[in-house]
Structure 1
Amino acid sequence: MQQKRSAFLYILLWAVQLLVAALFLLSGVMKLGYPITKLAALYPWTGQVSAAFVRLMGVVDLAGGLGLLLPSLLRIKPSLTVWAAIGIVILMASAIVFHVSRGEQSVTGFNVVVALLAAVVAWGRYRKYPVTPRAQCI
């Protein structure tokens, strides 16, 4: 029974990690590649800040998504996955402050959920199921 529970949690952790990574990769591609006018129709704040800020957030989102996946998948410095997840939690906390300061409290629920999911990844990869680094060849 314990082994089934353990396997379920292991798979669930990977699923959450993949979900959050996919979300950030998609968001990064959109913020980097879509015209600002198209983005502003989806996310009004993107039309009310500088284009450079939106593009910078695209780079940050891509880095977060890649950081959640690549170190664990390649097993090269997998502890970076934990740091990427912590960075996403901080980014989502900053997004909540940003939206509240603009009177957009109604959109912060999404940020809270993403922050919680990223915190689960950080905890899971640090405490419960850390990925072991690949053995180095000499």
Structure 2
Amino acid sequence: MNVVLWIIASLLAAAFLAAGLMKSTQPKEQLAARGMGWTEDFSPGAVKTIGVLEVLAAIGLVLPAVLDIAPVFVPLAALGLVLTMIGAAVVHARRKEYQGIVVNAVILILAALVVWGRFGPYSFTS
């Protein structure tokens, strides 16, 4: 199960690193044109902030455990992604973008699995 948690955390980190870099470096109009219509509901600063938080979460999912420096940040980063996906699902529900909610739910479940595993039976401190 430890290997599965590493794989899930790594995949989540790769996905959120890419998504976060995109949101933090591209104008919101360009993001909206690429299918991220939800950006129309947020200020450019808020979109960039979301992107930076996603990059930080991606780093927090892997780097603390790899370096063995404060590995408790791994489940905390995953918990942050759980909360982010709840917020994203709410935004998609308000916009009636139901397909987005399915994606949010899958990511939420994967992140919650990392939270459970790394705070619980497969923590780095046990």
Larger gyration radius, structure 1 or structure 2 = 1
In structure 2, which of residues 100, 111, 121 is the aligned counterpart of residue 107 of structure 1?
100
Deviations 1:55-86 (A, max 9, x none): 01111111111111111111111111111111
Give 1:66's aligned residue.
59
Give 1:3's aligned residue.
none
How many pairs are equivalent?
A: 125
Give 2:26's aligned residue.
34
Do the aligned partners of 1:92 and 1:115 also contact (CA within 8 Å) in 2? yes
In the alignment, the residues of structure 1 paired with residue 5 and residue 41 of structure 2 have an alpha-carbon distance, to the nearest angstrom, of 36
In the alignment, the residues of structure 1 paired with residue 109 and residue 39 of structure 2 have an alpha-carbon distance, to the nearest angstrom, of 24
In the alignment, the residues of structure 2 paired with residue 118 and residue 39 of structure 1 have an alpha-carbon distance, to the nearest angstrom, of 24
Give 1:16's aligned residue.
8
Give 2:93's aligned amino acid: V
Deviations 1:4-60 (A, max 9, x none): xxxxx2221111010001111111100011232321122112244211111011111
Cα distance, 1:106 vs structure 2: 2.3
How much identity, in percent, do the aligned residues show? 38
In the alignment, the residues of structure 2 paired with residue 40 and residue 95 of structure 1 have an alpha-carbon distance, to the nearest angstrom, of 15
Question: Unpaired segments of 5 or more residues in structure 2?
Answer: none
* SS of alignment partner, residue 90 of structure 1: helix
TM-score, length of structure 2 as denominator length: 0.91
Give 1:116's aligned amino acid: I
Question: Unpaired segments of 5 or more residues in structure 1?
Answer: 1-8, 134-138
* SS of alignment partner, residue 128 of structure 1: coil
